[in-house]
Amino acid sequence: MNEIIGNVFDIQRFSLHDGPGIRTTVFLKGCPLHCAWCHNPEGLRPEPQILFRPERCIGCGDCGICPNDAHSLKDGLHRFERSRCIGCGQCAEICPANALTLTGKSMRVTDVMALVRADARYYENDGGVTLSGGEPAMQPDFSHALLKSAKEEGFHTAVETSGCVDFERLRPLLPVTDLFLFDWKHSDAEQLMRYTGASLERIRANLLTLDRLGAQIILRCPIIPGVNDVREHFNGIIEIAKSLRGCQAIHLEPYHALGLSKAAQLGVKHSFTPSTPTAESMEEMRQNLSQCLAVPVMIS
């Protein structure tokens, strides 16, 4: 089982915001949603992709190794024809300047566990491993095997999910997951569909089922100015939180623009550029929600 292979695009050690304690967060590639504000655009597609940072390129031409001639140098300018790229990663392997890097790596459960274990001494009682993405439930076998291994070694396990998958993909994770970080991005079905492509019905149903089956849940609510910083959505958060038995906390996550540069490196055009909420407005939202809820509301 530990030979099962997953498609991982990042492993971030010393994570302080993806669950309790010190954590190692494993980011799985591939996501059913396409949120307009996506902050991990390299996690969207399941296949490996090349990130290109032209400002780092020194024009050495080593990337000429590409079997499909996706890279060309003309007048010192590096042109990357993404349509020719098959994501083999040979150019990234050879680029001396790290101007080309490959995102998405096939890893066995054992490979990931070796990295998770490296920080075991810092986890103590409450820290551990968090699966994020992308969408971990898109790779249910790998996620299950990884979480099971982590649990067997005594680590706390958490899964961050959009909830927008067939429940049968979430079900196997339930017994090996101590905490679900469940996204609640919008309470209006039409708006949610418009900005993320997700079905509110399916998400709501999955959330309620997880809760009914005894899952511990933290609701994670990205705050995107102009999209969901509206009273109706806050009422929606309150309503859904109240209907859950296992809801431990609400995390409000202010929008940040870090995804934009990564999107550019992936060659993805982005026209959606909301503003970043101010600390004061976030605190106001937090207090308003706090007044209506018994569980803690935090800004992360």
Partner 1 sequence: MKYDSSEDRICFSPAIEALHKATFARAKPNRVREGTRTGPDPDGKTPFLDAFERMPDAPYAVCLAHGIVDSWLESPIIIDPTDLLVGAPRPLRVLFEHFSWGIQYHEELFDDPAYAPQRESIQARIEKQANRLFPLTKEHIRSEGIKIFGSEELYDSLDSSLWWVGGYQGHTVPSYPELLKLGLSGTMAKIDRYRAEHPDAETLYDALEILLKGMSRWILLYAEESEKLASIDPQHAARYRLIAKNCRDISWNAPRTLFQAAQLAWFYALWDWVDCIGRADQFFYPFYSAEADPAVPFSREEIIQAFWLRGFEHGFHNITLSGVHSDGSDATNELTYLMLQTCRALHETHPRVSVRIHENSPEELLALVVRMWSEGMSDPTVVSDANVLKGLNRLNIPIEDARDYCMLGCQEIEIPGRSNWGCEDGSFNLAKIFELAANDGKCRKTGRQIGLKTGKLVDFHSIDELWDAYIAQMKFFTKHFIDLCNRGVEIRDANLSKLVKMLYTLPCIERGLNPDAGGPLYNPGVVETAGSSAVADSFTAIDTVVFRQHRMTMETLDKALAANFKGYERERLLLLNAPKFGNDHPLADQYCRRVLDAFWDEIALYRSKRGGPFTGACSLLEAGITYGKNTWAMPDGRYAGEPLGNSIGPRTGADHNGLTAMLNSVSSLPLDKGVGGTTLNVLLPAELLKSEPLRRDIAQVIRSYLMNGGQMAQITTASREEMLDAKVHPERHGDLIVRIGGFSIRFVELGETSQDEIIARYA
Q: Cα separation of 195 and 190, whole Å?
A: 9
Is the peptide bond preceding residue 134 cis, with omega within 30 degrees of 0? yes
Is 121 among the residues that bind partner 1 (CB under 8 A)? yes
Q: Which of 1, 2, 84, 98 binds partner 1 (CB under 8 A)?
A: 98
Looking at 14-22, 68-76, 156-164, 239-247, which segment touches partner 1 (CB under 8 A)?
14-22
Contacts with partner 1: how many residues (CB under 8 A)?
19
CB 300, CB 255: distance < 8 Å: no
For 160, what's the count of Cα atoms within 13 Å in the CB-facing half-sphere? 23
Is 278 among the residues that bind partner 1 (CB under 8 A)? no
Shortest gap between Cβ of 14 and partner 1 (angstroms)?
Answer: 3
Is 118 among the residues that bind partner 1 (CB under 8 A)? yes
Is 111 among the residues that bind partner 1 (CB under 8 A)? no
Shortest gap between Cβ of 244 and partner 1 (angstroms)?
Answer: 22
Give the phi and the psi of residue 133 in degrees, each rounded to 5.
Answer: -175, -150
Q: How far is CA 60 from CA 98, 104, 269, in A?
A: 12, 25, 27
List of E strands, 134-270: 156-161, 179-183, 217-223, 247-254
Looking at 55-63, 236-244, 253-261, 272-280, which segment touches partner 1 (CB under 8 A)?
55-63
Shortest gap between Cβ of 12 and partner 1 (angstroms)?
Answer: 7
The nearer residue to partner 1, 51 or 138, going by C-beta atoms, is: 51
- Give me the 61-90 binding string for partner 1, x by CB under 8 A, dash otherwise: -x----------------------------
Q: How far is CA 8 from CA 124, 162, 172, 181, 209, in A?
A: 25, 17, 19, 19, 27
For residue 178, what are its two tokens?
A: 């101590």
H/E stretch holding 108 reads strand 105-108
Is 249 among the residues that bind partner 1 (CB under 8 A)? no
- Residues sharing a CB contact under 8 Å with residue 171, sequence separation 6 or more, in sequence order: none
Shortest gap between Cβ of 49 and partner 1 (angstroms)?
Answer: 20
The nearer residue to partner 1, 122 or 232, going by C-beta atoms, is: 122
The nearer residue to partner 1, 98 or 281, going by C-beta atoms, is: 98
The nearer residue to partner 1, 199 or 216, going by C-beta atoms, is: 216
The nearer residue to partner 1, 53 or 204, going by C-beta atoms, is: 53
CA 244 from centroid of its chain's CA atoms: 23
Residues in the site for partner 1, rule: CB under 8 A? 12-14, 16, 20-22, 58, 60, 62, 96-98, 118-119, 121-122, 124, 127
